[in-house]
Amino acid sequence: MTIGSESVRFTGIRLAALLFVATSVAGQPSTPRHLNKTIERLEAGEVVFGTFASDKSPSGGAFYGGAPVDFVIYDMEHEPIDFVGFRTFLQFMLDRRQIVQKGSIQPEVTPLIRLPFYGRERNHWLIKQALDIGAFGIVFPHVSNVEEARSIVSGARYPHPAAAPDAEPEGMRGYAPGIASRYWGLSMAEYAGRADTWPLDPNGDILLILLIENQEGIENIEAIAREVKGIGVLVPSPVDLAMSYGAVADPARQPFVDAAIQKVVDVCRSSGIPCGTLANKENVVELIRKGYRFLIVPTEREFEAVRIGRGIAR
């Protein structure tokens, strides 16, 4: 009986201590300038690391929410469209203890989603679905020209007053942020103020990642970077570019692919847009030295590529 009483007393002390921390140290969790930690780091000139979610279960959400990466991508391009699954995944990424200990509602790992439609299809309803659930950013495959890129940015933005300095591209997103604002930990009005595309809005927390995957996209890359505001990251896709240039069937054409990829890297450097690619522990150091700042690594329990990359990027 004494042991039981002491156990209850000890448990009570621990609970009281936790509540004290939650209320006195971080009881009113702070709201940093950026809730999107990936944007925060890119804005600071840092290299960011992330991965695709190979496990989309609740357990997978919990794993990635605590992984030593900056972002995780929930894929719906080459895997089934499942917004209900995405909503569940987001909920299990949340770690309330982490919020209390950090004293901030900024997620340690930024949840992103890759949508299935190509730039030419302009399916704004899918953008709206992803953002209304709470995604902090979207990856878009096969973006080939200025018109496609501008349509993507428009679909991810709320309308702005015509006199606003960042009114263009015109926002086309419908307003119903109840679920997204709750997931972000904000009122709907606060969410609307933050849910804009960075860096078009310097305070925006929506990150748009455009994949350049064919010859048309390479031909138009300078114009895309110059004329479309609101692009967060540009990613030249080696395999799809190899398909587009015929290098899969004819390896002798690989130099055309290499030159195309380098062109995107050069445009990113001159325009200030972060450039992304796939990485692993063997090539991560080389890629960082080449100027890549948005690196997608394999899912591993140790995330060795991230450890190596962070060491060289400091």
Residue 273 has, within 13 A of its CA and on its CB side, a CA count of: 29
- The contacts of residue 153 (CB under 8 Å, 6+ apart) are 169, 197, 200, 208, 228, 229, 230, 231
Q: What is the pLDDT of residues 263-299, one digit of tens each?
A: 999 999 999 999 999 999 999 999 999 999 999 999 8
Q: Tell me: do 49 and 18 sit in the same domain.
A: no
CB burial of 152-171 (b: ≥16 within 10 Å; e: otherwise) equals bbbbbbbebeeeeebebbeb
Q: What is the pLDDT of residues 191-234, one digit of tens each?
A: 999 999 999 999 999 999 999 999 999 999 999 999 999 999 99
Q: Report DSSP state, residue 251.
A: G
Q: Looking at the 3D structure of the chain, how many domains does it have?
A: 2
Cβ contact 177:191 at 8 Å:
yes
Q: Can you state the percent helix, strand and coil of the chain, rounding each to 5?
A: 50, 15, 40
Q: What is the pLDDT of residues 132-144, one digit of tens each?
A: 999 999 999 999 9
Which residue has tokens 């967060």? 232
pLDDT at 21: 38
Q: Tell me: do 197 and 244 sit in the same domain.
A: yes
Q: Tell me: do 203 and 235 sit in the same domain.
A: yes
Residue-range definition of the domain harbouring residue 253 = 31-313
Q: Tell me: do 76 and 16 sit in the same domain.
A: no
pLDDT at 29: 63
pLDDT at 27: 53
CA distance 173 to 129: 10
Q: What is the pLDDT of residues 92-108, one digit of tens each?
A: 999 999 888 889 999 99
Local structure of 265: helix, strand or coil: helix
Q: What is the pLDDT of residues 2-59, one digit of tens each?
A: 334 433 333 333 333 333 334 334 456 667 889 999 999 999 999 999 999 999 999 9
What token pair was written down for 104?
């901030």
The pLDDT mean for the chain works out to 90
pLDDT at 300: 79
Nearest Cα to Cα of residue 229 among 175, 173, 154: 154
Nearest Cα to Cα of residue 83 among 71, 74, 92, 70: 74
CA distance 139 to 210: 6
CATH number, domain with residue 106:
3.20.20.60
Q: Tell me: do 101 and 224 sit in the same domain.
A: yes
What token pair was written down for 41?
């780091």
Q: Tell me: do 276 and 246 sit in the same domain.
A: yes
pLDDT at 249: 87
Q: Tell me: do 5 and 35 sit in the same domain.
A: no
CA distance 227 to 3: 71
CA distance 106 to 69: 14
Q: Tell me: do 146 and 223 sit in the same domain.
A: yes
CA distance 142 to 139: 10
Q: Inform me whether the pLDDT recorded for 114 exceeds 50.
A: yes
CA distance 119 to 141: 7
Q: CA-CA distances (angstroms) from residue 2 to 5, 7, 8, 10, 14?
A: 5, 8, 10, 12, 18
Q: Tell me: do 47 and 14 sit in the same domain.
A: no
CB burial of 109-119 (b: ≥16 within 10 Å; e: otherwise) equals bbbbbbbbbbb
CA distance 116 to 79: 9
CB neighbours (10 Å) of residue 146?
15
Q: Tell me: do 26 and 68 sit in the same domain.
A: no
Decide: pTM greater than 0.75: yes
Q: Tell me: do 37 and 21 sit in the same domain.
A: no
Does the CA dihedral 55-116-87-151 come out positive or negative? positive
Q: What is the pLDDT of residues 147-175, one digit of tens each?
A: 999 999 999 999 999 888 888 999 999 99
CA dihedral 124, 130, 136, 139 (to 10 degrees): -60
What token pair was written down for 94?
């949340």
Q: Tell me: do 10 and 85 sit in the same domain.
A: no
Cβ contact 106:32 at 8 Å:
yes
